[in-house]
Amino acid sequence: MVSLIDTDLVALQEMRTAVKSAKAAQQVYMKFSQDQVDQVVKAVANAAFAESERLGKLAVEETGMGVAEHKKIKNEVGSRDVYESIKDLKTVGIVGEDKANKVMEIAVPFGIVAGIIPTTNPTSTAFFKTLIALKTRNAIVVSPHPYAVRCTQEALRVCEEAAVTAGAPRGLIQCLTMASMEATQQLMKHPDINLILATGGGALVKAAYSSGKPAYGVGPGNVPVYIERTAKIETAVENIVNSKSFDYGTICATEQSIVVDRNVAELVTRALKKNGAYILSDEEKQVMEKVISPVPGKVNPKIVGKSPQTIAKLAGISLPTDTRIIVGLETKVGKEVPFSLEKLSPIFAMYIASDIDHAKEICLSLLELGGMGHSLSIHTETDAVAREFALEMPVSRILVNTMSSVGAVGGTTGLMPSMTLGCGTFGGNITSDNVTAKHLLNIKRMAYGIKEVNLTTSKIMPSKTNNSSGDVTDQVVESVLQSLGSSDKVNPQVVKDLVSEIVNKLSK
């Protein structure tokens, strides 16, 4: 018990020291010019890209998840592609000016960003968050996943050395190494942390939102993929299998369930087998269900990011060596239905839809189970169908005729390259965007007056502080009589009574 307490204390002290160092460095860095910032960001992106392969291998060795060559690709997206998408963004000084309306926009950094990194993408996410923080003159303190400390720390060391060589102050990039949940929670609540960028499990994201700090968190991605009857079946299935097998399904935007139109179900099944899918028998499916979710509603962590062969071995099932994904035919959706959950592994549920409306019902049920606001994939040659799903489904990204896993993060689409995908208020997030550098900026606005406002004032009856209502009445009567002039038709007493009545009503 004593050693455990000592470890937590050391972890807390490490966190406080890291924040202190980051703050000191950021105070220097925030004075950098746009050119200086851009030189630092470019140097970091180049260094990260150059180490993509080595760090991909290191991530797989440490976590036991995914495929090294696929980690390399993710590292390249998290470095080169992210850099290309933000390199021309103005983030220092005056970043916008509307001369016609005389409004000027000025960029200001947040300060210190707390970056929470998942075990599924430990190096690519570290690259991505570091680059968007540096581009916006912020410092970053990273809390890696306990199972990925070494590879995340090494990724950040590469970034730090490149940044310092390019002229950045040392200390701008910090990484916690003690793998303490207490230290992570205290990091998110630290008074000098200005923003939380959280990628991880639901509990961790909830903790980020509960910290009292501004936070970007992301929800789960139980992504359905609909194969509509007009889809190019061979191409669609090839994309889906490639996407699902990519890094063994560890990207949150990876397809989790296939929903196929009954008119093309047989063609899809044949194409799946042709592309390395193993279709489970009813008996095998029952055994696999217990491996996927030993406890109802919870996915077995032993299958996350593992190969189909490794997962099948846990179920006592023998698979052909060329098997790329496992498919189980399903009809139900719910926490007690393992195949309908977000599995983060090369395992698919497959549903048969009688028509488009039925497909929508299935997709909506899957999203409500655990993917609200995230993403949906569709394969169709009918643009009207794609638009119909885009308009009706409660998701932030609709991927059409592409690999959902890579497309959602900007790899095969025109979306902003990002490893943090917002789910909007559908999924309890503040943004539905692919989070990038622009989300880490405060924008001040200076505005000149360009319009005149005429304020009308009411005439106030003359009065003196110590006057009684009777005195006021006499003054008004006298003023009225003078304005009317002498006339026998005017009865001064009638005028006085009328004015007294009005004054009395106004004074109540």
Is pLDDT above 90 for 500? no
**Dist. CA 42–CA 44, nearest whole Å:** 5
Helix ranges (DSSP H) in 192-340: 202-209, 233-245, 265-274, 282-292, 308-314
For 254: left if phi > 0, alpha if psi spans -120 to 50, otherwise beta; the answer is beta
Identify whether 422 is part of a domain: no
Cβ distance 267 to 235 under 8 Å? Answer: no
The catalytic position among 151, 252, 363, 423 is 252
pTM here is 0.86
**Dist. CA 325–CA 311, nearest whole Å:** 10
Identify whether 459 is part of a domain: no
Q: Are residues 104 and 156 in the same domain?
A: yes
Identify whether 430 is part of a domain: no
Q: What is the CATH number of the domain that holds 230?
A: 3.40.309.10
Per-residue pLDDT tens for 136-190? Answer: 999 999 999 999 999 999 999 999 999 999 999 999 999 999 978 889 999 999 9
Q: What is the mean pLDDT of residues 438-447?
A: 97
Per-residue pLDDT tens for 204-239? Answer: 788 888 899 999 988 789 999 999 999 999 999 999
| Structural domains of the chain, count | 3
Identify whether 427 is part of a domain: no
Q: Are residues 231 and 272 in the same domain?
A: yes
pLDDT attached to residue 204: 79
Q: Are residues 194 and 229 in the same domain?
A: no
Identify whether 458 is part of a domain: no
Which of 41, 233, 204, 270 shows the shortest CA–CA distance to 136?
Answer: 41
pLDDT attached to residue 507: 58
Of the candidate ranges 121-125, 437-441, 499-503, the one whose mean pLDDT is the lowest = 499-503
pLDDT attached to residue 251: 94
**Dist. CA 205–CA 482, nearest whole Å:** 79
Cβ distance 247 to 66 under 8 Å? Answer: yes
CB-based burial label for 138 (10 Å; 0-12, 13-18, 19+): buried
Per-residue pLDDT tens for 455-467? Answer: 876 555 554 445 5
Parallel, antiparallel or unpaired: strands 395-400 and 373-379: parallel
Q: What is the mean pLDDT of residues 304-313?
A: 97
Q: What is the mean pLDDT of residues 302-325?
A: 96
Is pLDDT above 60 for 486? no
**Dist. CA 30–CA 109, nearest whole Å:** 7
Instruction: Clarify whether 252 is annotated catalytic.
Output: yes
Identify whether 460 is part of a domain: no
Q: Are residues 64 and 94 in the same domain?
A: yes
Q: Are residues 129 and 187 in the same domain?
A: yes
Is pLDDT above 80 for 487? no
Q: Are residues 404 and 495 in the same domain?
A: no
**Dist. CA 105–CA 94, nearest whole Å:** 6
Q: Are residues 208 and 239 in the same domain?
A: no
Q: Domain residues for 264?
A: 223-416
Q: Which two tokens stand for residue 83?
A: 């850099």
User: For the chain, what percent of residues have pLDDT higher than 70?
Assistant: 90
Beta bridge partners of 347: 326
Q: Are residues 476 and 338 in the same domain?
A: no
Q: Are residues 202 and 258 in the same domain?
A: no
Between 101 and 491, the more confident residue is 101
Q: How would residue 2 be classed by pLDDT, with cut points 50, 70 and 90?
A: very low
